[in-house]
Amino acid sequence: MQARRAAAFLLASGSLLLLAACGADDFDENEKKAIRSLSLAALPERPIDPSNRVSGDPRAAAFGALLFTDTGLSGNASMSCATCHKPERQFQDDLPRGVGAAETDRRTMPLAGVAWSPWQFWDGRRDSLWAQALAPLEDAREHAGNRTAFAHHLAARHARRYAELFGPLPALDHLPADAGPKGTPAERAAWAAMSPDDREAVNRVFSNLGKALAAFEETLRPPQTRFDRFAAAMLEGREPEAGNDLSDLEREGLKLFIGKANCLECHNGPRFTDDHFHNTGVPPVAGRADDAGRADGIAEVLADPFNCLGTYSDAEPDACTALRFMRRDRAAMQRAYKTPSLRGAASRPPYMHAGQFASLDEVIDHYSRAPAAVSGRTELRGVVLTERGRKALVAFLKTLDPQRASDP
């Protein structure tokens, strides 16, 4: 009897202690600091890309917006950047792997906030937005176009706008209709037969095409979300406006996210990414070629003629910090992929670099189990989550969704 009463008393005292620790606004100072670091209030000014002389130029952005949806920039005149980067779908396509002229190997990435990203593609094989924009244009599975065809198209359709930004186009009439170093054997042969000066002139036009596209893409800012409005109110010590509060479950998810679920190790900062590459043991897609991720991206970005240190870059070499101080340790980057932003992620399955997981539940299950990587070593250590904890994490991630369909 007495033992039971003592136990009841202990239980009551214990509950008191718990209550004291878990009030409605139970984020401690460290948690508040983490919440601020994730909110858009912590997003620095939009950086200007020193390698792109039209970066930050509104005229270039307007020209880039036209080019972004221009199907003339493809081998069969039916595809544009917007074919996979759909503006009404956060500039991605909801497919496990993007489909241009054929299916590619990787998930199409959304574009909000790309201006802040030092590396492009899942494996960081490009070091600027303009160098990135060039790659799909002449990839046989994407736009399947070629460099002289792009130059001819610009001359036919966009000569005036081009000239306003980059000066007059060079003489192109004597050049083949289709030629490029990455096209069909016939296109490659035609490219090899061109004079070095002509190839150089076309490369210059090609790089400017990328720079205009980049000037548009860098204007796509991550939109304010319910989480950002909640964070702003919390940090100012006021109640969130109606509709901007987080439910108990969402708060629990946020607490887990910044706490014991270890998400902040990679998904940190206002874009929820550390802009680095990690092996998280995500399984390969059955029946597809081996994919080493960042391990291969390192050599590719160094060899890219359009990188920050190349002839077509407008940057002083000193300004190319990402490339100059890039981690070159290939072994450590085996099957490592860029940390994607989690802003808007809840409403754009499937997940991972090749769409391996169909739902956030599958993603959380993977992070919880932390299976070994097929090659390289996973950085995951696994985390034990309750059923409610899993639901809470998903609920929190949904607070990062854009609130209007027109949001990037």
Partner 1 sequence: MSSQAETGKNRFILALFGLVIAAVAVYAGYRLLAPPPPQIDVTYNTVSADGLYQVTFETDLQPVPVGETHAWILTVTTPDGAPVSDAEIAVDGGMPAHGHGLPTEPKVTENLGEGRYRVEGMRFNMGGHWEIRVGISATPGLDEAKFNIDL
Task: Return the number of other C-beta atoms located less than 10 Å from residue 316's C-beta.
Answer: 10
Per-residue binder mask for partner 1 (CB under 8 A), 286-325, x = binder: -----------------------------------xx-xx
d(CA 335, CA 283) in angstroms, rounded, equals 10
> What tokens were used for 106?
């990787």
Q: Smallest gap, in angstroms, from Cβ of residue 8 to partner 1? A: 10
> Does residue 267 contact residue 339 with C-beta atoms inside 8 Å?
yes
> Does residue 280 contact residue 363 with C-beta atoms inside 8 Å?
no
195 is a site residue for partner 1 (CB under 8 A): no
Q: Smallest gap, in angstroms, from Cβ of residue 67 to partner 1? A: 30
For partner 1, give the closer residue by CB, 103 or 265.
265
> Does residue 105 contact residue 98 with C-beta atoms inside 8 Å?
no
d(CA 220, CA 65) in angstroms, rounded, equals 11
28 is a site residue for partner 1 (CB under 8 A): yes
**4, 29, 197, 331: which one binds partner 1 (CB under 8 A):** 29
10 is a site residue for partner 1 (CB under 8 A): yes
**62, 379, 383, 391: which one binds partner 1 (CB under 8 A):** 379
Element (H, E) at 84: helix 81-84
Long-range contacts of 55-59 (CB under 8 A, 24+ apart): 55/211, 55/214, 55/215, 55/218, 56/215, 56/218, 57/165, 57/215, 59/164, 59/165
266 is a site residue for partner 1 (CB under 8 A): yes
Rg of the chain, C-alpha, whole Å:
24
What is residue 101's DSSP assignment?
S
274 is a site residue for partner 1 (CB under 8 A): yes
For partner 1, give the closer residue by CB, 266 or 345.
266
Tell which residue, 344, 379, 391, has the closest CA to residue 88: 344
For partner 1, give the closer residue by CB, 143 or 267.
267
238 is a site residue for partner 1 (CB under 8 A): no
329 is a site residue for partner 1 (CB under 8 A): yes
332 is a site residue for partner 1 (CB under 8 A): yes
**4, 5, 160, 404: which one binds partner 1 (CB under 8 A):** 5
d(CA 210, CA 56) in angstroms, rounded, equals 14
**7, 17, 48, 192: which one binds partner 1 (CB under 8 A):** 17
331 is a site residue for partner 1 (CB under 8 A): no
Chain contacts with partner 1 (rule: CB under 8 A):
2, 5-6, 9-10, 13-14, 16-17, 20-21, 23, 28-30, 34, 37, 44, 118, 264-266, 268-269, 274-276, 321-322, 324-329, 332, 379
